[in-house]
Structure 1
Amino acid sequence: MELFKQDTTTNILPYGGEVIYYGKVLATQKADNYLDILLNTIEWKNDEAVIFGRHIITKRKVAWYADNEYSYTYSNTTKHALPWTKELLQLKKLTEKLTGHQFNSCLLNLYHNGDEGMAWHSDDEKALGKDTAIASLSFGAERKFALKHRESKHKEEVILAHGSLLIMKGATQSNWLHCLPKSKKIKTPRVNLTFRTMVSNMQ
């Protein structure tokens, strides 16, 4: 597997957490192949959420894979994990090698175009533990990833390239929110793999 060597020592956050952007870690052809496989083999389902008592079904699709039959609850809905595919295990191994962290699960997001995004939030659910690392692999359309400090409101942004890797760790989820802004200019899909470590099996 062809990799790109990156300077991975730079924290893009000025304080209160650690976010490392590795840039492209897969050659374009390899990333293209993974994108095609992920679009066509993952068991995608429309995401659901209960917000202020209303049941919302999003255009964005999600999938949840893990070592065991973990359940994962966020936005007042619960998802049950599927067993890893061959390609997801390959990407998990690559991510673990580059980041030095071990992961036991992956939440995947499919954004069909720039009309779909993610509002400000933090990944601080109890099942993830406190201040655990979350690594994000991106495939497809380049999208802006924004972070905002909870108190100071200071913002940082990075463009996530096709075949790129980013990791959030330390106190990032406690101190910062993040989002994927919408953009009318983006007409092609993006697949995002967020590798996580579940600390409790909530079956």
Structure 2
Amino acid sequence: MNSLFPKEKIVFDLPDAEIEYYPNLFSVEKSNELFQKLKNEIPWQQDNITVFGQTYPQPRLTALYGNNGKTYSYSNIVMQPHKWNPLLMFIKNEVEEICLENFTTVLLNQYRDGKDSNGWHADNEKELGRNPVIASISFGAERVFHLQHNEIKECKQKITLEHGSLLIMKGETQHCWKHQIPKTSKPIGTRINLTFRIIR
């Protein structure tokens, strides 16, 4: 951990949620280096997704890495994990120092431009267990992360996810809230996101 960069921490005061945000987990220089390596070295794939009976290419690229060959399923997609590589182990170790967790799996998303997105959902798959800890690292173009409470409709939050930042969601967040990365018509570059999680 680079102690020259103080780890600023923002805690959001939201009902039924525990959300922390670290805007500068990695320096700009380190973030630039990690972004290029992730973009060039990860075996990105584009799966088909079926929603309301319609099948179309998922609007982003993905990859899964993890322990023990445990698959990860969402939206009728079953992903097979690659084995951890040194690049991802380095990022994982930095994240675990903050979270004090031992993550088993990371799902990577590449949003190639503003047309790529991730619709409303919660990370509440049964293999994640009750009250999962999700640690989300962002590199590249900033995107706005939307949160909305499932019951209290006026309870919303937007967070701009910066280059080299870490967002942690824990407690009841995944059971009481949903989140999305919406499309944007602004001309923006590529964003790479890594969401670390524990598959039980």
TM-score calculated relative to the size of structure 1 = 0.93
Say whether the 8 Å CA contact 1:134–1:195 is kept in structure 2: yes
Partner of 2:159: 158
Q: Please state whether the residue corresponding to 2:12 is helix, strand or coil.
A: coil
The reply on whether 1:5 has 2:13 as its aligned counterpart is no
Aligned residue-pair number: 198
Distance across 1 between alignment mates of 2:52 and 2:115: 23
Instruction: Report Cα offsets for 1:26-83 as digits up to 9, x if no partner.
Output: 1111100000000001010013322223332124100000012111111012111000
Q: How does 1:50-65 map to 2 (within 5 A)?
A: 50-65=50-65
Which one-letter code corresponds to 1:5 in the other structure? P
Distance across 2 between alignment mates of 1:54 and 1:182: 19
RMSD over aligned Cα atoms: 1.3
Structure 1, unmatched stretches of 5+, are: none
Q: How does 1:128-167 map to 2 (within 5 A)?
A: 128-153=128-153, 154-167=155-168
Q: Please state whether the residue corresponding to 2:47 is helix, strand or coil.
A: strand
Say whether the 8 Å CA contact 1:64–1:105 is kept in structure 2: yes
Distance across 2 between alignment mates of 1:175 and 1:102: 24
Instruction: Report Cα offsets for 1:85-114 as digits up to 9, x if no partner.
Output: 111000000000012122010000000011
Partner of 1:72: 72
- The percent identity for this pair of structures is 38
Say whether the 8 Å CA contact 1:138–1:160 is kept in structure 2: yes
The reply on whether 1:85 has 2:85 as its aligned counterpart is yes
Structure 2, unmatched stretches of 5+, are: none
Distance across 2 between alignment mates of 1:140 and 1:115: 15
Which one-letter code corresponds to 2:176 in the other structure? N
Q: Please state whether the residue corresponding to 1:98 is helix, strand or coil.
A: helix
Partner of 2:182: 181
Partner of 2:17: 17
Partner of 1:122: 122
TM-score calculated relative to the size of structure 2 = 0.94
